[in-house]
Structure 1
Amino acid sequence: MDAVNAWLVSHNFETTISILNVEFPSSLFLALLSIAPLLLFRVLGDSSSPSTVVETVITKDRRSVMKYAGPAPESSIQKSLNAAIHAPNHWLNEPWRFYRLGPKTRARLGEVNPDKEKAFANVPDMFIVTCVPSMSMKTHSLDVSKVKWDGTWGKCALEDHAATSAAIQNMMLSLASNGVGSKWMTGAMGISPSLLLDLVNADPNDEHFMGVIFVGIPATPTNSMKVPKRKNGLGGGIVEFVE
């Protein structure tokens, strides 16, 4: 510290500094200032690493939200849709369809199920998501878009279903990473899939209903919500090593 004080004096700096009327050696202040970035990096480094951020969004921030404070920023919604279409899908056939519901369609939801009209009205944004299943490739054609689905859940149709589920999860995780809440609704809508498809003019012979996605700024931040405890977690035979 003597060398630091000598340097301060030689450069016309005060050897003490007053903070809240308390005198501190300037050398001590400089020493603390020099290590502050290292301490900050130590504290924030792990929590801001990409792997930790992803894990936090998946296990904590992405929660099912029913109560909303307002609409989500349009930029967050567009980012979530872009994330959705990057889900894995065989032959890049993009089997998902996202229908964003406008005021007229939203009003019809309430007419179909009056018991939930108020609940629906409190959701800022809604999407009906469908899957366009493809036929199993009995004749090995790479252009699955030209092979019409026959209503059976063969190999390719099941892959399309899984891909669309992955797209929905991508969408919700992206929303959660931007502080936006969401909820994946199916039977709890109290409206049959055929009626929901009809609302968006989707042909049930071509598209399979996957769910309604609620979107909006949550009334309670999702990162402060209680995370439901998994019944089995990683035990109970859920994860096993098979040699």
Structure 2
Amino acid sequence: MQSINIETESFLKLIQSRRTCYQFLSKENHPIEEQKLQNCLQAAIWAPNHKLTQPWLFWVVGDEIKPELADIYADNRATKKSQTDPDCYEYFYEKALQKFLAIPQVVLVGQKLSENEVVKNEDYAACACAIQNFHLMAWQQKIGVQWSTGPIIKDVRTYQKLDIQREQIEIIGALYMGNIDENCRPKIPPKRKPVNEVTTYLK
């Protein structure tokens, strides 16, 4: 593989500038380019993982299955929001349904589960690193991403749609992604504790 020289300052700025995005340009006018999506997936699978377990799995949601997942998403949202007023279920359902369908691209991320608890924890950390790689590659391409851990990834119906067994594979995230307006990128970074407050140098 050809080595790529990235200036340290530029790379640090990329990491510092990355944000979770909730608003995307319309998928009709600004669809996610297939090559850019592949770049994100390629970046993801190069995450560090102990003993090369490569525990991650990805499902790129297409147009046929998306309405079915949207139904699961909307049902969960509406059920929760209408607990105090069941008459509002249909309103919240339709609102959530349209919200999900408007997301330009959805990618589900799963973790192959090990019977060994230590390996299982290490593998989750590896999958989180993979998602961070995915985020950074997307951001570099002016694509925003939200890593959601909402009810849709816990719902038994989602597992049925993907034809997977919860004892073998756990869905750990739904990545909602879309192109973003360059002018809408947040300019002020969120506050972070200084390095010297969270770092101890041991002698």
Q: What band does the TM-score fall into relative to the shorter chain?
A: 0.7 to 0.9
Mark the runs of 5 or more structure 1 residues left unpaired by the alignment: 1-47, 137-153
Give the residue type in structure 2 aligned to 1:108: E
Give the residue type in structure 2 aligned to 1:53: S
Distance 1:183 1:216, change over 3 A: same
TM-score, L = length of structure 1: 0.65
Q: CA deviation at 1:215?
A: 1.6
- The one of 194, 218, 229 equivalent to 2:155 is 194
**Where in structure 2 are the equivalents of 1:16-165 lying within 5 Å?**
50-60=7-17, 62-69=18-25, 70-112=30-72, 113=74, 114=93, 115-136=95-116, 154-165=117-128
Aligned to 1:221: 182
Give the residue type in structure 2 aligned to 1:107: P
Aligned to 2:84: none
Q: CA deviation at 1:99?
A: 0.5
Q: Distance in 1 between matches of 2:183 and 2:54?
A: 30
Superposition RMSD on alpha carbons, in Å? 2.1
Give the residue type in structure 1 aligned to 2:170: H
Aligned to 1:23: none
How many residue pairs align between the two structures?
Answer: 174
**Where in structure 2 are the equivalents of 1:176-215 lying within 5 Å?**
176-187=139-150, 190-191=151-152, 193-195=154-156, 196-215=158-177
Q: Which has the higher contact order (CA 8 A, sep 6+)?
A: 2
Corresponding position: 1:241 with 2:201: yes
Could you say what secondary structure the match of 2:167 adopts? Answer: coil
Q: CA deviation at 1:201?
A: 1.8
Aligned to 2:86: none
Q: Distance in 2 between matches of 1:222 and 1:156?
A: 43
TM-score, L = length of structure 2: 0.77
Q: Larger Rg: 1 or 2?
A: 1
Mark the runs of 5 or more structure 2 residues left unpaired by the alignment: 75-92
Corresponding position: 1:168 with 2:131: yes
1:133-179, Cα deviation, whole Å (9 max, x unpaired): 2233xxxxxxxxxxxxxxxxx11111110001100110110111111
Q: Which ranges of 4 or more aligned residues in structure 1 deviate by more than 6 Å?
A: none
